[in-house]
Amino acid sequence: MKMDCELQHVMQRRQIFKSGVAVWAMLFSLMMFALPMTSHATEEPDYKVVQKLEDIEVREYAAYTVAEVVISGTAAEAGNLAFPILAGYIFGKNKGERKFAMTAPVTQAAEPVKLEMTAPVTQTAASGGFLVQFVLPKGVTQASAPEPLDKRVTLRDIAPSRLAVIRYSGFWSDANYNQHLAKLQAALRAADLVWVGEPVYSRYNAPFTPWFLRRNEIWLHLADEP
């Protein structure tokens, strides 16, 4: 009887995972085809590499703005639960005015504002769950971004920061994540670099991207230099 219960639990977890991947794939596909894109490359925050420690980069990021939501639950569930909430905001579940360029005739209309897809989608442990963020396009700030209709979504300006980053491919698994987080932390200790706060898990690709082509990153915020 115990074996049957354990088997049922495993099957339920597999079904949740498959359903979550299906949701990510569907929404990411819709966003890639439905939203206007200025180029084939997905926009991401500006940064410059200021130091290299083998395959680890120390980056200085310029300021950028995010839409974020806190999700209670496990790390594996957080992304799947947060994605439709944040995608709703990007797709136009927001308040805002769209001003058109000078044309003939001149028109002005109030309508939901649709924003371009950017990368990465980040996830961080937070009080009561996980903080999941979408990076908003360049030029959009907390003050200028349209107000979310979903009260769970908040907007925040991220100040310029210095991050230690490890990049890797492969599956979105705990084993892959933990292996590379340990490698990143070991390299920082060896270089006498101190980090603060929780690791940030950053994903740049849709779930249907082959595992060997995926760009995954773990970010650690570095303490201010004395």
The count of other CB atoms within 10 Å of the CB of residue 91 is 18
Give the predicted TM-score (pTM) of the model. Answer: 0.72
- Kindly report the average pLDDT of the chain as a whole number: 75
Taken in order of first residue, the domains within the chain and their CATH numbers are 2-222 (3.20.80.10)
- Reported as a single tens digit per residue, the pLDDT across 3-61 is 454 445 444 444 433 444 444 554 454 444 344 433 345 778 899 999 999 899 999 99
As to burial, measured by CB atoms within 10 angstroms (0-12 exposed, 13-18 middle, 19+ buried), residue 43 is middle
- Reported as a single tens digit per residue, the pLDDT across 190-203 is 999 999 988 888 88
Q: How confident is the model at residue 180 (pLDDT cuts 50, 70, 90)?
A: very high
Name the least confident of 25-29, 83-87, 149-153, 164-168. 25-29
- Reported as a single tens digit per residue, the pLDDT across 110-147 is 234 566 667 677 778 777 788 888 888 888 899 988 89
In whole angstroms, what is the distance from residue 74 CA to residue 88 CA? 22
The dihedral through the CA atoms of 162, 165, 171, 175 has a sign that is negative
**pLDDT for residue 69:** 87
**Phi and psi angles of residue 209, each rounded to the nearest 5 degrees, phi first:** -65, 130
